[in-house]
Amino acid sequence: MSDYRSLIQKRRTFAIISHPDAGKTTLTEKFLLYGGAIALAGSVKGKKNSRHAVSDWMEIEKQRGISVTSSVLQFQYEGYCINILDTPGHQDFSEDTYRTLMAADSAVMVIDASKGVEAQTRKLFKVCLLRDIPIFTFINKMDREARNPFDLLEEIEQELGIKTYPMNWPIGCGKEFKGVYDRNSSQIISFRGDSGKHEAEATVSGLDDPGLKGLIGPYLHEQLCDDIELLDGAGYEFDMDAVRHGRLSPVFFGSALTNFGVEPFLEEFLHMTSSPLPRKTTDGEVDPFDPDFSAFVFKIQANMNKAHRDRIAFLRICSGKFEKNMEVLHQQEGKKIKLSQPQQIMAQEREIIEEAYAGDIIGVFDPGIFSIGDTLCAPGKKILFEGIPTFAPEHFARVRQMDTMKRKQFVKGMSQIAQEGAIQIFQELAGGMEEVIVGVVGVLQFDVLEYRLKHEYNVDIRLEALPYQYIRWISNDTVDPKALTVTSDTKKIQDLKGHHLLLFTSEWNIRWALERNEGLELTDFSRG
């Protein structure tokens, strides 16, 4: 039993989030490099003779058949078993990122040192706050011209409403980036090595080291001393409890491209993060050390193997031990099922696995029975994990099939693609599936939908863009949507789970509906 506990205690599961191009995929690569999963780190924008990134979907799409999606990577480092969820940065696929965060115990927020907090970062941060999970900040690209570190910290605090505590402090930036000052040990870590393909060599010295001025230059030495004095006097106190609950973000500076500051960040991060956290159910919490197996589906990926048209359901194991071909209860269906073809992703390779533990992410074959948010547990257990929030889409279109004889394929295709979470389907209150309203986060998803229906289900569709910009879930069940007083250009609809919603063309219409209907409560996401 003690061995079982220690296996779970050594697991760390986190997601990496950022605005596109902040360096998230490069940082993931460097973690794999230090973990020994790869010997040579790739770059996203590689030259012809350079490697591509392991986790980069473009390369995986060519080699492995994975679409524009989150990738899951597992590796070992200093006794820890690390599961990284690398998320797509492109906002058209941000739904995938939202769901991925549900499977993580903490998040690493990567910020570009020259740009600061960007639009996508704000959105993703909001999801982290909903989850109450620890957020660690890595301010990247210090090897380029960067903004003042104090200004960056102030922006994070003001824009995201979270306190910051710099764990280290940069010495210079751009070509003058010499290393970082570690506040915990009061030591300077200066770096050598410029290609970024191999681990950076670090030289450690104290602030009062007589050779330090020669190493970093008198100007940077003086500036560093002033900055540290200011930090120690005016900064927040370090509070581990505030970190655990997402109220204080430890901040690290570095450059993922050149490896400067990556290993210190990884080591500190692993010491500060916890082993797998308990998960909320409708009846309380599930302890990760509970020997009974439980997991939930947070992602479904169709057609990973183009030859077989297969579907893989990604599970976050919440408690117990998973064993190959074990029988589990699918709570939503109330049926016992065998989990076949379990696979884990170890850097570049997909491997069939024999066992996995709480905190791990595994993929299992989906015969078409799973939906996002489904609970799987040991037979005889009656637990139901909280649903995964569905966020408000921003673009809407009416979709109908061109050939009415293909209704069956149309319904199947729409339902399966909706199960993956790429699109959301809504119906008129008295309407059927012959004509539906589709909501997406980015317009690119409409193209993906049309292409997939044609090529995977042999169905042609007609898309008609709708003028709606806002969607709200009616959160109080007692309200009869038919009796609501709304403007003529507001539409009453329902989702496939029977939840009632309103579609609005403007924010003014939302305010109008709330003012005219006493007791009406509207939210911009559904908790599943």
Same-domain status, 407 and 515: yes
Is it the case that residue 346 has pLDDT exceeding 60? no
54 secondary structure, DSSP code? S
Domain at 30, CATH number:
3.40.50.300
**Residue in 385, 402, 387 with CA at minimum distance from that of residue 495:** 387
CA-to-CA distance for 498 and 514, rounded, in angstroms?
21
**Residue in 235, 245, 110 with CA at minimum distance from that of residue 183:** 235
391 secondary structure, DSSP code? E
Same-domain status, 206 and 227: yes
Same-domain status, 398 and 450: yes
Same-domain status, 356 and 411: no
Per-range mean pLDDT, top range of 203-212, 231-240, 326-335, 386-395: 326-335
Same-domain status, 38 and 182: yes
- Relative orientation angle of helices 24-34 and 262-272, to the nearest 10 degrees: 80
Q: How confident is the model at residue 283 (pLDDT cuts 50, 70, 90)?
A: confident
Query: What's the mean pLDDT in 47-74?
Result: 44
User: What is the chain's mean pLDDT, rounded?
Assistant: 79
Domain boundary among 252, 272, 292: 272
Asked if residue 398 lies in contact with residue 466, where contact means CB atoms within 8 angstroms, the answer is: yes
Cα 406 to Cα 299, 411, 412, 460: the distances in Å are 28, 9, 10, 9
Tell me whether strands 248-253 and 163-166 are parallel, antiparallel or unpaired.
Answer: parallel
Task: Give the pLDDT of residue 58.
Answer: 36
Cα 70 to Cα 15, 84, 502: the distances in Å are 10, 10, 30
CA-to-CA distance for 376 and 342, rounded, in angstroms?
14
Same-domain status, 267 and 322: no
Task: Give the pLDDT of residue 471.
Answer: 92
Per-range mean pLDDT, top range of 24-38, 272-286, 498-512: 498-512
Note whether residue 182 is domain-resident: yes
> Helix, strand, coil % (nearest 5) of the chain?
30, 30, 40
- Residue 107 host element (H or E): strand 106-112
Q: How confident is the model at residue 433 (pLDDT cuts 50, 70, 90)?
A: confident
Task: Give the pLDDT of residue 67.
Answer: 33
Task: Give the pLDDT of residue 12.
Answer: 92
Per-range mean pLDDT, top range of 177-181, 189-193, 468-472: 468-472
pLDDT tens by residue, 444-502: 888 888 988 888 889 999 999 999 999 999 988 788 888 899 999 999 999 888 889 99
Task: Give the pLDDT of residue 506.
Answer: 92
Task: Give the pLDDT of residue 287.
Answer: 92
pLDDT tens by residue, 494-525: 988 888 999 999 999 999 999 999 889 998 76
Print the domain residue range for 299.
Answer: 279-377
Note whether residue 206 is domain-resident: yes
Note whether residue 96 is domain-resident: no
Same-domain status, 299 and 357: yes
Same-domain status, 265 and 396: no
Note whether residue 423 is domain-resident: yes
Domain boundary among 239, 254, 272: 272
Q: What is the SS3 assignment for 310-374?
A: CEEEEEEEEECEEECCCEEEECCCCEEEECCCCEEEECCEEEECCEEECCCEEEEECCCCCCCCC
Task: Give the pLDDT of residue 50.
Answer: 38
Domain at 330, CATH number:
2.40.30.10
| Cα four-point dihedral sign 388, 394, 398, 399 | negative
Note whether residue 82 is domain-resident: no
Give residues with Cβ within 8 angstroms of 357, minimum separation 6.
4, 7, 8, 11, 317, 320, 321, 322
Task: Give the pLDDT of residue 254.
Answer: 87
Domain boundary among 330, 350, 377: 377
Note whether residue 385 is domain-resident: no
Query: What's the mean pLDDT in 37-43?
Result: 43
CA-to-CA distance for 270 and 274, rounded, in angstroms?
8
Domain at 513, CATH number:
3.30.70.3280
Note whether residue 79 is domain-resident: no
Task: Give the pLDDT of residue 190.
Answer: 73
Cα 484 to Cα 313, 479, 507, 510: the distances in Å are 39, 8, 17, 12
Instruction: State the Rg of the chain over Cα.
Output: 25
CA-to-CA distance for 395 and 404, rounded, in angstroms?
25
**Number of domain units in the chain:** 3
| Cα four-point dihedral sign 264, 268, 271, 277 | negative
Asked if residue 169 lies in contact with residue 180, where contact means CB atoms within 8 angstroms, the answer is: yes
Q: Where are the alpha helices (DSSP H) in 341-469?
A: 407-420, 444-457
Same-domain status, 165 and 115: yes
Query: What's the mean pLDDT in 144-153?
Result: 88
Q: How confident is the model at residue 65 (pLDDT cuts 50, 70, 90)?
A: very low
pLDDT tens by residue, 208-260: 666 566 666 677 777 777 878 887 777 778 888 988 888 899 999 988 888 78
Same-domain status, 323 and 255: no
In a 3-state reduction of DSSP, which class is residue 269? helix
Task: Give the pLDDT of residue 47.
Answer: 36
Task: Give the pLDDT of residue 197.
Answer: 47
Cα 136 to Cα 85, 156, 272: the distances in Å are 15, 12, 10
Note whether residue 46 is domain-resident: yes
